[in-house]
Structure 1
Amino acid sequence: MRPGPAAGPRAAGPSRDGAVDSRRLPLYAAGEIDVPFVVRGSAEIIPRDTFWEEHSHPTHELLWNQRGASSATIGARVWTITPAVGLWLPAGTRHSGWTPAGTWHRAAQFGVHAVPPISDGPVAMEVTPLLRLLLDRLDADDLTRDARSRTEAMVLDLLTPARHELILRIPESPLLAPIAAAVREDPADATTLAVWAARLGVSTRTITRAFRSETGLGFSQWLATARMQHAVAMLAREEEIDEVAACVGYHSASAFGAAFRRITGLSPGRFRSEIQ
């Protein structure tokens, strides 16, 4: 997640000892460092489950994966990052990240002096095969100045917000925090809205209004999105679709597949084939 030369990563498997690496990077304001490049890429196969502590870059950043799924957290929002859907972070945006072992992590830094504003804040981006090829081309050492300029211009032209994104806002109020914690701990938790209301001593309407106010989603939609974020991580680990469905609270693979398609735009099988 820091500007650096592209590397040819070597294969790595999941952490066998359960250890988690923590990486600490600096906090930079937008444009604090005057970089000499327009676009500069980096690549790494992550050897262990890795937590990236909150940091920010002087450059704009595009995150995506060549293989696997990861996440980035900005404030109370958690974004899922895959080979097909990346995340654009304007320069100076504070964010943390989680990258499971074996993920082929990719990033591109964009100089603020050369790139017009794409968005005021983080936005999910389409990472098409053509965009990936062009970004890879920029890593070549033998590009002429004109060829590099043309390629950079095409990259900028292809930066397009994604049609589907997997983003979850985590409610932080004392009322909703127990619900969010229970679902994130066990996505198959089947506690109904009525049961939660009874436990918390409020009406179901109060919980519904609070979810809509804090997350922009109703409880059922928020729950489905939280489950799909968990499902994506399991599919990236090559777990069976039936097992994933059960682990995230669906009684059949077909019901899970329909919910997954509504949120991601892809079937679980198609999604898994794209992230491997």
Structure 2
Amino acid sequence: MSQAYALPAPTGPFRQMPLERAGSVAVDFTSVGIGETLATATRWPDHSHAVHELLWNDAGASTLRVGRRTWTVTPAIGLWMPAGTVHSAVSPAGTRYRATYFTPDADRSLGLSGTGMRGETSPPAPPGAVPEAPPGALPQTPSSVRITVLVRELLDRLGSTTLKASSRELTEAMVLDVLAPSPHQFLVHEPTAGLLQPIVAAVLADPADARSLGDWSRQLRVSERTITRAFQTETGLGFARWVGSVRVQRATTLLADGEPLEDIAEAMGYRSASAFGAAFRKLTGTTPSSLRH
């Protein structure tokens, strides 16, 4: 196994890692997995891997950032990070993170095509992506994926030290075959438009900020339609759904930390735990309690 992908020694809350281009490091595996329970809150500054990375958690919630987009990784929703994509990460104390690395040509070497996450049209590469990534059928942009019971069991099987080569290859093929995009994702895209910066700064500083679209329209002296169009152009969401995405992402970390539901609802600006739960389900397709550990 390449030293670059050995489990890093617990060196404290700051983990410096290299910037690697896709396929730039020779490895002697098709896939390899790592995992760690963090004793302290930990930060990985900008780095990139020569191989694809599939991330998920056994416990807790981590956040990963690519450019101005931030994903939250949980036990139920993981993240596919393509080889060569520059990203940073933060995990709170107590998080049990998992990662499985796949070589850039894993799907071709395993004889796969047109199933699972393959064969889909990828959106334009996000800011921070290292250019000249080799073409392949696996997603070339970060993608939220469902960590189902089957996917988890297959990934756990890959961690066995007694797995025969033929069984390992079959298991790797099954993982990539059944891996599917999540219909919901804990993603916040921070818009860059100057008009929206007062809104973005206010909501990120305090997700409970109760100012409505009409309030911001009057404060910024522009029409509600202008604000809505600016949000749609950059994030694909309207004002209310963008605010909701910020609240859900922030709440996800608090849920993983075990904060009381009533306290989280209040901190996110909802009048009750039931109102928060309803909004959470609408945006994510799951219940807040499903993210407890």
How far 1:127 moved relative to its partner?
0.9
SS in 2 for 1:37: coil
SS in 1 for 2:101: strand
Show the counterpart of 1:3.
5
SS in 2 for 1:176: helix
SS in 2 for 1:175: helix
How far 1:271 moved relative to its partner?
3.2
Q: Cα RMSD between the aligned structures?
A: 1.9
1:199 aligns with 2:219: yes
Show the counterpart of 2:200.
180
SS in 1 for 2:181: coil
Q: Aligned residues: percent identity?
A: 48
Show the counterpart of 1:12.
none
Does structure 2 retain, via aligned residues, the 8 Å contact 1:53–1:97? yes
Which residue identity lines up with residue 177 of structure 2 in the other structure? D
Does structure 2 retain, via aligned residues, the 8 Å contact 1:4–1:40? no
How far 1:204 moved relative to its partner?
2.3
Between Structure 1 and Structure 2, how many residues are aligned?
261
1:215 aligns with 2:215: no
Which residue identity lines up with residue 153 of structure 1 in the other structure? A
Structure 1 residue runs of 4+, over 4 Å off?
none
Show the counterpart of 2:18.
26
1:80 aligns with 2:82: no
1:69 aligns with 2:89: no
Q: Judging changes above 3 Å, is the alpha-carbon distance between structure 1 residues 5 and 70 closer, same or farther for their aligned structure 2 residues?
A: closer
Question: C-alpha distance in 2, partners of 1:120/1:154?
Answer: 20
Does structure 1 retain, via aligned residues, the 8 Å contact 2:107–2:173? no
SS in 2 for 1:189: coil
Q: In structure 1, which of residues 152, 158, 170 is the aligned counterpart of residue 178 of structure 2?
A: 158
Question: C-alpha distance in 2, partners of 1:253/1:204?
Answer: 29
Q: Judging changes above 3 Å, is the alpha-carbon distance between structure 1 residues 6 and 127 closer, same or farther for their aligned structure 2 residues?
A: farther
Question: C-alpha distance in 1, partners of 2:209/2:201?
Answer: 11
* Greater CA drift, 195-204 or 155-164: 195-204
Q: Deviations over 1:169-223 (max 9, x none)?
A: 1112222122111111111111222332333232222211111111111000101
Runs of 5+ in structure 2 lacking a partner?
109-136
SS in 1 for 2:105: coil
Show the counterpart of 1:138.
158
Q: TM-score, normalised by structure 1?
A: 0.89
How far 1:240 moved relative to its partner?
1.0
Which residue identity lines up with residue 183 of structure 2 in the other structure? R
SS in 1 for 2:144: strand
Does structure 2 retain, via aligned residues, the 8 Å contact 1:5–1:40? no
Runs of 5+ in structure 1 lacking a partner?
10-19
Q: TM-score, normalised by structure 2?
A: 0.84
1:111 aligns with 2:95: no
Show the counterpart of 2:81.
89
